[in-house]
Homo-oligomer: A and B are copies of this chain.
Amino acid sequence: MDIKMGVAKAGIKPSGDYDILVLRFKPSVYSLYLTQNSLPAAPVVYDRQLREKVEKISGIVVNSGNANAATGEDGLKDAKEMAELTENCLSLKENSVFVFSTGVIGVRLPMDKVRKGIKEACSNLQPLDLKLASRSISTTDSFEKYTSLQFSIDGKKGQVVGISKGAGMIHPSMATMLAYIFTDVQIDKPLLDKVSKEVVEKTFNSIDVDGCESTNDSVLIVATGEGEIKITEENIEEFKGYLYKVALQLAKMIVKDGEGATKLIQIDVFQAESPQEAKEVGEAIALSNLFKTAMFGNDPNWGRILSAVGQLHKDIDFSKVKLYIGDFLIYDGKPTNYDRERAVEYLKNNSEVVVKLYLSRGDASWSYYTCDLTYKYVEINAEYTT
């Protein structure tokens, strides 16, 4: 794929690191998912309007270090200016660039710095470097998040690449996460929208760090059509599998880098009445601070898992429920005599752990991803702006 990028150190981030990213690519169909928070950031408002107008885009501009959220009319003007300036600097036509921001809420963008940064980034284009692109959009992230996948369908080659950022305020309906995925397949927008929606629901909308939904979350999926593969109803499932793989990797990286997290926790819910119910149950567990602190303490405290499920007030028959932590059957309609010491060891020795819950109500399932709640989370968030 011919994707060009430019980055700049505009001085928006206190750290002084890269904080402006522009990407330019051929006019491409896209699917864009934005936060549902009713206090959306200015760039989200701008992008929502643009999404209604255009079928194809040719670029994006992202700043990190400032969310441009709760900044009123001024903020909206700034977002618009960022998009238009990028279009100008990259010689792209009107209404072809989405704009994204991430960082502190409620502070007006330092537009002098932003303008200078965008101009600099646009005048130093280079081939897409996933790692550097990820670095330029990060805030409290502790590592770069990117991945790429090459695949073939019917002997033809295709690829999917992506970057993401996010470490706190991560919660379904997508909280301060940004993710950009590019694929070279040829695909119509309606088909891309359909497949993306399913994939986003199972990945970026099934992760949690702290239950807090952000004002800025955005996932953009772009199909440039430069590759050999044409996606149709016949091979869509195969393509979906590849897109899912990349999206899940990027989403899991966000959780793994959850502020202060020491563990990625995968919650698999089985035998629910519906996928929606399975997801709700997984989410209820993921949101429990008591569960998350127990995981930090390597404590197989299953009572906190079941009471989190009970908090949904569903008529679940707990005498039929089975709960596993790793391979340990901890609860089988009642507490079991599992080997507690070995279960503690399992939690201690693994940075990725699995909790499996069988509800005995149907045949739907869902996987939800979260992380533990640690001293470090408190430290990061008690001292973020002070």
5 nearest A-B pairs in the assembled complex, by CB-CB distance = A105-B303, A297-B382, A39-B310, A293-B381, A37-B310
Which single residue of chain B is at the shortest CB-CB distance from A212? Answer: B290
Query: Which listed residue, B211, B287, B314, touches A38 by the CB 8 Å rule?
Result: B314
Contacts of A384 in B (CB 8 A): 294, 297, 299, 301
Q: Taking chain A's interface residues, is the majority helix, strand, or loop, or is none over half, making it mixed?
A: loop
Least distance between A235 CB and chain B CB atoms (Å)? 36
- Would you call B383 and A378 a contact (CB within 8 A)? no
Which single residue of chain B is at the shortest CB-CB distance from A216? Answer: B307
Report the bound CA distance from A115 to B226 in whole Å: 77
- Would you call B294 and A382 a contact (CB within 8 A)? yes
Tell whether A36 is near chain B: CB-to-CB under 8 Å. Answer: yes
Question: In chain A between 297 and 320, which residues have their CB closer than 8 angstroms to a CB of chain B?
Answer: 297-299, 301-304, 306-316, 318-319
Tell whether A28 is near chain B: CB-to-CB under 8 Å. Answer: no
Q: Given A309-B39, A382-B294, answer yes or no on A331-B288 (Cβ-Cβ < 8 Å).
A: no
Question: In chain A between 353 and 386, which residues have their CB closer than 8 angstroms to a CB of chain B?
Answer: 373-375, 377-379, 381-386
Least distance between A121 CB and chain B CB atoms (Å)? 26
Proximity bits, A48-67, B CB within 8 Å = 1, else 0: 00000000000000000001
Q: Given A210-B289, A212-B311, A378-B375, answer yes or no on A303-B383 (Cβ-Cβ < 8 Å).
A: no
- Would you call A319 and B69 a contact (CB within 8 A)? no
- Would you call B303 and A381 a contact (CB within 8 A)? no
Which single residue of chain B is at the shortest CB-CB distance from A40? Answer: B310
- Would you call A287 and B106 a contact (CB within 8 A)? no
Contacts of A37 in B (CB 8 A): 307, 310-311, 313
Which single residue of chain B is at the shortest CB-CB distance from A35? Answer: B310
Q: Given A37-B310, A304-B212, A306-B39, answer yes or no on A71-B334 (Cβ-Cβ < 8 Å).
A: yes
Q: 5 additional contacts, CB 8 Å, given A212-B288, A213-B311, A377-B378?
A: A39-B318, A213-B310, A289-B289, A293-B377, A293-B378
